């Protein structure tokens, strides 16, 4: 596993989430831990292919794996999806607040325009 | 009724903000390009910030500069500034955000006139994923980002 900085991990998390299979794997692991073999079967994929996906999710901190005997078990990692999306909410809050005030400015401009050009 | 604001991260260095306004594009454009109008909405009351001055020279190559009262250090000010890269009346406005040096995002506002309403798309593109991560700090409730800057300046 590659060790990434916190910033790189967040970038990696977004990249990891851009793939439908990987989102499916997260959803699956949200319900129960699973081995790479289980996941490969469920997603109709080769073991090598699934290992790659799990590797990407693991680098992003979204999945953690542990080898017990010959089986590598996967579970949800330390980074949660809500952490990835939390700042987007703050970003949206700022823009919503701005635009709600912009609505008022626009209403006044519309009113003024009407007064200037009565029909 | 208020229209919804949507925010979507398109890639590791791009964010797209969309919103519909109940007015034709010429009015929405006016509100983005006249300082006396801009200063009434760009700094929402909920941000807790006080805008001291707002200078805008809205033409290609012209600059803008917003100066705020520093939220934590009395007597200090903070500035956001940049240049207008493209000004196409009622349809497109492109500007840089230069207060973070080379890490600032390029903002592209597109207005789509739909008669009585206008759909706006604001695309913010950062030069890299890392710059994006640094820049999003300014949205973490602005006072916090100023606190981070304080630390930086103190260090």
Q: Does residue A25 sit in the same domain as residue A59?
A: yes
Q: Is B94 among the domain residues?
A: yes
pLDDT for position B155: 34
pLDDT for position B8: 85
Q: Per-residue pLDDT for B55 more than 80? A: yes
Contacts A13 to B, Cβ<8 Å = none
What's the pLDDT tens digit per position in A24-65?
898 888 888 999 999 999 999 999 999 999 999 998 888 999
Q: What is the total count of domains within chain B?
A: 1
Cβ of B44 within 8 Å of Cβ of A92? The answer is no
Q: Does residue A20 sit in the same domain as residue A52?
A: yes
Tell me the residue range of the domain where A106 lies.
80-119
Cβ of B40 within 8 Å of Cβ of A88? The answer is no
Q: Is B1 among the domain residues?
A: no
Cβ of B31 within 8 Å of Cβ of A102? The answer is yes
Q: What is the total count of domains within chain A?
A: 2
Q: Does residue A88 sit in the same domain as residue A108?
A: yes
Q: Per-residue pLDDT for B131 more than 90? A: no
Q: B74 or B155: which carries more pLDDT confidence?
A: B74
Q: What is the DSSP letter of B103?
A: G
Domain boundary among A42, A60, A76: A76
Taking CB atoms within 8 Å and a gap of at least 24, the contacts of B72-81 are: B72/B143, B72/B146, B72/B147, B72/B150, B73/B150, B77/B52, B78/B146, B78/B149
User: The tokens of A1 are what?
Assistant: 């596993």
Q: Per-residue pLDDT for B83 more than 90? A: yes
> Which CA distances in Å does B110 have to B29, B80, B97?
10, 21, 17
Contacts A96 to B, Cβ<8 Å = 5
Picking from B28, B134, B142, the nearest residue to A106 by CB comes out as B28
In degrees, to the nearest 5, what angle opens at C-alpha B37 toward C-alphas B110 and B112? 20
Q: Does residue A65 sit in the same domain as residue A97?
A: no
Residue-wise DSSP of chain A: -----HHHHHHHHHHHHTSHHHHHHHHHHHH--EEHHHHHHHTT--HHHHHHHHHHHHHTTSEEEEEETTEEEEEE-SS-HHHHHHHHHHHHHHHHHHHHHHHHHHHHHHHHHHHHS--
With bands split at pLDDT 50, 70 and 90, how would you rate the model's confidence at B53?
A: very high
Separation of alpha carbons A110 and B149, rounded Å: 40
pLDDT for position A39: 94
Q: Is A54 among the domain residues?
A: yes
Q: Percentage of chain B with pLDDT > 70?
A: 83
Distance from the A98 Cα atom to the nearest Cα atom in chain B, whole angstroms:
5
Cβ of A105 within 8 Å of Cβ of B136? The answer is no
With bands split at pLDDT 50, 70 and 90, how would you rate the model's confidence at B143?
A: very low
pLDDT for position B152: 37
Average pLDDT over residues A86-111: 88
What's the pLDDT tens digit per position in A60-93?
888 999 988 888 999 988 776 666 666 677 778 8
Look at residues B2, B29, B44, B12 and name the one whose alpha carbon lies nearest to residue B86. B29
Contacts B5 to A, Cβ<8 Å = 92, 95-96, 99
Distance from the B154 Cα atom to the nearest Cα atom in chain A, whole angstroms:
23
Q: Does residue A66 sit in the same domain as residue A93?
A: no
Cβ of A11 within 8 Å of Cβ of B129? The answer is yes
Q: Does residue A71 sit in the same domain as residue A88?
A: no
Cβ of A100 within 8 Å of Cβ of B7? The answer is no
pLDDT for position A102: 95
Average pLDDT over residues B52-62: 96
Q: Per-residue pLDDT for A4 more than 50? A: yes
Tell me the residue range of the domain where B85 lies.
6-154
Q: What is the DSSP letter of B70?
A: -
Cβ of A98 within 8 Å of Cβ of B44? The answer is yes
Cβ of B19 within 8 Å of Cβ of A110? The answer is no
Contacts B42 to A, Cβ<8 Å = 98
pLDDT for position B17: 92
**B114 in Cβ contact with B100 (< 8 Å):** no
Q: Is B126 among the domain residues?
A: yes
With bands split at pLDDT 50, 70 and 90, how would you rate the model's confidence at B92?
A: very high
Q: Does residue A14 sit in the same domain as residue A68?
A: yes
With bands split at pLDDT 50, 70 and 90, how would you rate the model's confidence at B145?
A: very low
Q: Does residue A24 sit in the same domain as residue A49?
A: yes
pLDDT for position B141: 38
Q: Per-residue pLDDT for B115 more than 60? A: yes
Contacts B139 to A, Cβ<8 Å = 87, 90-91, 94
Chain A residues with CB under 8 Å of a chain B CB are: 7-8, 10-11, 14-15, 87-88, 90-107, 109-110, 113
As for the ipTM of the complex, it is: 0.80
| CATH code, domain with A65 | 1.10.10.10
Mean pLDDT check: name the lowest of A81-90, A107-116, B91-100: A81-90
Alpha carbons within 13 A on the beta-carbon side of B45: 3
| Tokens 């890639």 found at | B11
Q: Per-residue pLDDT for B41 more than 60? A: yes
């Amino acid at each position: 596993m590659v060790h990434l900085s916190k910033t790189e991990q967040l970038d990696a998390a977004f990249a990891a989430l851009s793939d439908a299979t990987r989102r499916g794997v997260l959803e699956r692991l949200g319900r129960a831990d699973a081995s790479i073999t289980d996941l490969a079967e469920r997603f109709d994929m080769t073991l090598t292919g699934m290992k790659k996906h799990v590797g990407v999710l693991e680098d992003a901190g979204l999945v953690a794996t542990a080898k017990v005997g010959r089986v590598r078990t996967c579970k949800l990692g330390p980074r949660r999806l809500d952490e990835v999306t939390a700042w987007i909410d703050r970003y949206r809050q700022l823009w919503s607040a701005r635009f709600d005030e912009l609505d008022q400015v626009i209403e006044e401009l519309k009113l003024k325009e009407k007064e200037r050009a009565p029909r | 009724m208020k229209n919804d604001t949507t925010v979507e991260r398109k890639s590791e260095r791009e964010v797209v903000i969309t919103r519909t306004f109940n007015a034709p594009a010429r009015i929405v454009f006016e509100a983005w390009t006249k300082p006396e109008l801009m200063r009434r909405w760009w700094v929402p009351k909920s941000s807790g910030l006080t805008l001291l001055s707002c200078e805008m020279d809205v033409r290609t190559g012209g600059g803008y500069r917003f100066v705020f009262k520093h939220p934590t250090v009395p007597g200090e000010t903070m500035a956001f500034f940049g240049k207008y890269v493209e000004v196409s009346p009622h349809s497109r406005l492109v500007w840089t955000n230069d207060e973070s040096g080379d890490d600032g995002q390029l903002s592209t506002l597109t207005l789509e006139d739909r008669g009585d309403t206008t759909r706006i798309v604001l695309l913010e593109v950062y030069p890299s994923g890392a710059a994006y991560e640094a820049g999003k700090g300014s949205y973490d409730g602005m006072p916090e980002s100023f606190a981070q800057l304080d630390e930086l300046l103190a260090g």
